Structure 1
């Protein structure tokens, strides 16, 4: 499998919250992908939850991951997760529920994935 990088590809670029929680973003894939591993790189995130759906529209999401992270004193929080099974995903929604500071940031979101419909690898 080849790793897919979404959200941010540049170490000097990141997405920052506006200071009120919860904050959320949705990633849309052109075609459904299948993945099992996720790497989430953030700062000041305390608690988050991720949802997915393989529907044509972004609705009827299923919770795949909910975590509380340790306070890393404004340094990067690199968190790797392996799901208990591979899942097909067209939309991934991430909700940051709480943070250790007024602002938090997302630096990257990486999936180990392949296109489950055609067998093509990304």
Structure 2
């Protein structure tokens, strides 16, 4: 069974973020509401760590965003975030010219607890992440 492990509804949480705005906090990236989003400041790189409710296997990362130019994805298997393995090397996303970007990345994460998205560059000074979906299954 495949489930969105990142969603707050399923116990996921936005644990760490390098930017925080009161109107657009990191939690908005996983709240399941397409009208909300996490917004970054005007500097790069930016990072967002999503903690899963249990050790999980993740097969796909789906991302809806605006303005991301280059991104990488990393996974950490330990209970507390520590060393991360790269599961998607730095990858360029096509310019959406201010419109929504929808990307699906096929990855292989086994027994992961934390997933870190690193936004290396944007097409503009700010980027927005509307939704992060981590499709997979809990192992515990």
Distance in 1 separating the partners of 2:110 and 2:123: 31
Q: Name stretches of at least 5 consecutive residues in structure 2 with no aligned partner.
A: 8-29
3-state secondary structure, aligned to 1:25: strand
What's the offset of the Cα at 1:90? 0.3
Higher helix share: 2
Aligned structure 1 segments of 4 or more residues deviating by more than 6 angstroms: none
For each residue in 1:81-118, what CA deviation from the matched residue of structure 2 results, as whole angstroms up to 9, or x when unmatched?
A: 112x452210111111100001101011112211123x
Name the TM-score, length of structure 2 as normaliser.
0.77
What's the offset of the Cα at 1:31? 1.1
- The equivalent of 2:43 in structure 1 is 20
Greater relative contact order: 1 or 2 (C-alpha under 8 angstroms, separation 6 or more)? 1
Q: Name stretches of at least 5 consecutive residues in structure 1 with no aligned partner.
A: 118-122
Query: Superposition RMSD on alpha carbons, in Å?
Result: 1.3
- The equivalent of 1:79 in structure 2 is 103
Name the TM-score, length of structure 1 as normaliser.
0.88
Higher strand share: 1
